Amino acid sequence: MNIGIIGSGTMGSGIAQVAATSGYKVKLFDTNQAALDKARVALEKILARLVEKGRIVTSEKDRIQANISYVETLKDLSDSNLTIEAIVENLEIKKNLFSELESYVSDACIIASNTSSLSIASIASSLQKPERCIGIHFFNPAPLMKLVEVVPAIQTSQEVLETSVKIIKDWKKTVAVAKDTPGFIVNRVARPFYGEALRIYEEGIASFETIDSAMKNIGGFRMGPFELMDFIGNDVNYTVTETVFTAFYFDPRYKPAFTQKRFAEAGYLGRKSGKGYYDYDKNGHLIQRDSVIQPENEEPLKQLIFNRILVMLINEAADALFLNIASAEDIDNAMTKGVNYPKGLLAWADEKGMDWCVSKMDELYNEYHEDRYRCSPLLRKMNNENKTFF
């Protein structure tokens, strides 16, 4: 089977590596020859490192490289059975690309987008055969992250969905099938991890350090919200939040924070700029601050912070299930394998108990009387019926 990848940046190159490793013939397309050369050199370094570490042998490295060819014209993808674009997140540019691509490939070719937030239905509308279009969303870095969200548009045929899922599973990835709604699963369900942390800071309840410490030490998350926003980039993370907020008709659950907006406007983008919520050296390593005076009741405070952010995450996951965005299994797989959460949020809800989830959400709503803190109807229903997710 022949695979066409459009865009030779980090994501496109990573997807090409994944497909080629699984024995598929891949053509990596980019209009920029310098970008293609850079991708070829980067892959050589990655594979050489894997050989050094004993992960693969030299013959395997050569086999993977031989499976990838680098092309400069879209017409070169004419023999593809599946094409995946991984270019700039701009709807019009993607639609124009797909419209041109369709004129070169066969009627049976699946045309997929790696978009993380744009409407697949809108992208599919650019095609003469929109039933061939689907979302196949990898996470960065593609070779390492196990999750792939597969997102059928309302136009997508069942055959295209089934074939796409089969191919991605053949690439040794975990597939989560998601409805074509803003943020799909991960970028929707993860919003409170950032948004509620920012809200807690803006209320003056705790510092960046204390909030991050609560989520890592009590929750078992690998990175705290502010560390992670610095890692992603405050400009990128803010834009995703703003996009989801707008796409959901300004639902207050996804409301962006002025703190993050101001940090982005100031150029405090995180690791890549040397300054964000924390300071970093030229190699992107955290510069330790002078010891911060901790409040006397730090542990109860950290527990309060963790409970508040966790229940907001659980509530979002439950609402995604309530609205049939994905199955319970796919939602939990998405969060553990897509963003490395220590547990699936719905499994966490079972562990905490529906009564705990509902009472914590109601406490927040009774305190603030904001629609942001409305409890998911599914959590309330399951609590009333004494049910669990698993």
Confidence of residue 289 (pLDDT cuts 50, 70, 90): confident
Are 194 and 283 contacting, i.e. CB atoms less than 8 angstroms apart? Answer: no
The predicted-structure confidence for 104-137, as pLDDT tens digits, reads as follows 999 999 999 999 889 999 999 999 999 999 999 9
Does the pLDDT at position 191 exceed 70?
yes
pLDDT at 291 over 60: no
- Name the percent of the chain lying above pLDDT 70: 98
Question: pLDDT band for position 148 (50/70/90)?
Answer: very high
> Would the pLDDT of 92 be above 70?
yes
Q: What is the dihedral of CA 333, 335, 338, 339, to 10 degrees?
A: -150
pLDDT at residue 79, as a whole number:
97
Q: Tell the residue number behind the tokens 């410490």, with chain if given.
A: 213
**Domains of the chain (ranges plus CATH)?**
2-177 (3.40.50.720), 187-390 (1.10.1040.50)
Please give the positions annotated as active site: 116, 137, 149, 187
What's the pLDDT tens digit per position in 178-190? 999 999 999 999 9
**What does the pLDDT read at residue 275?**
95
State yes or no: pLDDT of 222 exceeds 80: yes
Q: What is the pLDDT of residue 195?
A: 98
pLDDT at 295: 59
Q: Pseudo-torsion of CA 320, 322, 324, 327, nearest 10°?
A: 80
Q: What is the pLDDT of residues 309-330, one digit of tens each?
A: 999 999 999 999 999 999 999 9
Note the pLDDT of residue 151.
98
Q: Output b/e per residue, 334-362; b: 16+ Cβ within 10 A.
A: bbbbbbebebbbbbbbbeeebebbbebbe
pLDDT (0 to 100) of residue 124: 98
**Position 273 confidence tier, pLDDT thresholds 50, 70, 90:** very high
